[in-house]
Amino acid sequence: MTSAPDPPPPPPLLRLDDPALDLPTALDTLPEEHFQRGLIPVELEQGVPAWLMITLDCLQRVLKDEQRYARDPRAWHDLWNGTIPATSPLQALYPPRRNALSVDGAEHTRLREAVTGALEDVALSRVPHQVSETADLIVDGFCTRGEADVVSEYASVLPLLVLCRLFGMDQSAGLRVGMAMQRLWDGQADAGHAHHQLQDLLIGHAAHRRAHPGRDITTGMITRGLDDEEIRDQLALIMAAAHDPIAHTVTNTLADLLQTSRLHMVGSTWLISETLNHGIWHHPPLETLVGRFPTVDGLELGGYRLRRGDCLVMGFGAAQRHQLRTTPPGPSNRAYPVFGMGPHGCPRLGRDIALSTAQTGVERLQQRLPDLRLSQEPAQRRASTVIAGRRALPVTFTPARPLTAPAATHQENPWNPSPAPRRASASNSTTPPPTRSVFAKLARWLRSS
């Protein structure tokens, strides 16, 4: 009888919270034996074990099996057995939430159907026009300068404002949401205040749309029976899930076109679409995401025995790079693992809206600033175990006139004729410190005359 081959030596234990860790490089240098298993042990922080899924086969096996692998973080044993201390950021990142990504079973089905139905209420054919109008609003804020940073002044702003418009918010509410999200992502000292402010803005918007319905995603969820808190959590989920993929896709596509001197050819729909597609495959905007949790003891995965409540981390970046090495997708393949799969994967229409937003955002920027060019070599992609994207993309261009005078833009309000009222609450009763985000600059520009 032939004995089983010896298992490969264990890989070095990677700490996913290590700011010095270049995860793509560390994973790409692993021996092929570990990719044959599809799973490696890691730590989320010191003393907090997890398993990182690094191949498409492993991701498909887990993400498509809702019965044996839960998505609800309440199934994660280390969250409640004392392994993860109360002071850990993990406790703050993974509390119970009433959104479609954080629950399972019938509750997940109910919330997901409400979200997908609401997305269907938004005509995909109208999205490019809405993106173009929003892009013009942003570009008008910096087009007279002759220089800008594409990342902070355009790509990071566009998806949030487009989403707020699709949610049925007026531009003033959209800017306030954008400023709150900016402070959360930047980790500023008032991040706690920003979180409470964002919660208030979203639940206040849900209540406003309940009283003043429209043709938007929020109204769609109201008509499907969700309460205001559930709507708040779905809107926050959509923003969190869509922002980075869109922002980094816009940045990477523009960087690729500028570096190859092909931006002037953006009039070719095929060129921009394939450049965008290439960027998502080779530089996925999301490296990892927590997680899945076995619902029974003793499940076998990649030659390992899992315990009930272990944490499985989705290694989207590693899986896509491995697929490119082994079975490269065709030039027009859009089945990106980074959008997820199985019951909790991104709805197809949500993915289509995201890709349409990114493509239109690139096209409209080139139309407004046709001689856009790099002012220096693009910044290296930031080494991150979660988000993968450039920190900056400085460009220069011939200064151009804004399309609309600031005062007229403010009066016409191109998003919504019935602005939502500000909602006072205890959590936003104190004045937050001033922010220098592009949202604040855009708000000042709109108010000027």
pTM: 0.85
Residue 3 domain-assigned?
Answer: no
pLDDT tens-digit series, residues 108-167: 999 999 999 999 988 788 899 999 999 999 999 999 999 999 998 999 899 989 999 999
User: 370: domain CATH number?
Assistant: 1.10.630.10
Query: DSSP assignment, residue 153?
Result: I
Give the closest residue to 36 by CA, choosing from 5, 14, 63, 65: 5
| Across 23-27, 48-52, 97-101, 415-419, least confident range | 415-419
- Output the pLDDT for position 180: 79
Residue 365 domain-assigned?
Answer: yes
How many other CB atoms are there within 10 angstroms of residue 8's CB atom? 14
22 in Cβ contact with 283 (< 8 Å): no
Residue 9 domain-assigned?
Answer: no
Structural domain count of the chain: 1
Tokens standing for 397? 């261009």
pLDDT tens-digit series, residues 90-104: 887 787 888 999 999
Burial 364-400 (b: 16+ CB within 10 A, else e): bbbebbeebebeeebbebebbbebbbbeebbbbbeeb
Q: Could you list the residue range(s) of the whole structural domain that residue 136 is in?
A: 14-447
pLDDT over 70 percentage in the chain: 82
pLDDT tens-digit series, residues 315-346: 999 999 999 999 888 777 888 898 999 999 99
Between residues 73 and 412, the one the model is more confident about: 73
Residue 106 domain-assigned?
Answer: yes
Residue 404 domain-assigned?
Answer: yes
86 band by pLDDT with thresholds 50, 70 and 90: confident
- Output the pLDDT for position 408: 45
Residue 366 domain-assigned?
Answer: yes
